[in-house]
Amino acid sequence: MTVETGGVECNSCGQSLPDARPDDPAEGRPPCPACGSMSRLVKVYLHDEVTFHTDLVLKKRTPGFKSGGRSRPAQEQWSGDEQSADGIWRDRQRVVDRENNRYVERMTDPNGTVIRDVDEPLDQHLRHGSDKPKG
């Protein structure tokens, strides 16, 4: 967290007082040139490293739709930034379309380079995923 002291303003009318110091003693201050007030506002800004990452999940539910014997969303979409093992946040879009047996995954570097582009039948994707038969 970074604390930064900004300008000093008149607390009554908002006139900025470029010559005033945040730690000026109360006595001996010049009054506000605009309204004559002795009241001051010292602006302090707090900075924090905040990075926003969007993460959006869409689910399409079709009544009665089942997949693998379970009631599951007919279609799911994930869209958001994902931090890779190398620490870089990459845009990642994923679509699992159980209705149409389709799996789409696209990962994009911050500079716009597509580093992963998958578009294949969902059952094929699952086969080389965790559901892969052992042996």
Using CB under 5 A, list all residues that contact Zn ion. Answer: 10, 12-13, 15, 32, 34-35, 37
- Minimum Å gap between C-beta 57 and Zn ion is 51
DSSP-derived secondary structure letter, 130: T
Nearest alpha-carbon partner for 22 in 37, 45, 43 = 43
- Minimum Å gap between C-beta 81 and Zn ion is 45
Alpha helices in 1-135 (DSSP H): 122-127
Which residue lies nearer to Zn ion by CB, 35 or 57? 35
- Minimum Å gap between C-beta 40 and Zn ion is 9
Which residue lies nearer to Zn ion by CB, 10 or 74? 10
Say if residue 20 is exposed, middle or buried (CB neighbours under 10 Å; 0-12, 13-18, 19+).
middle
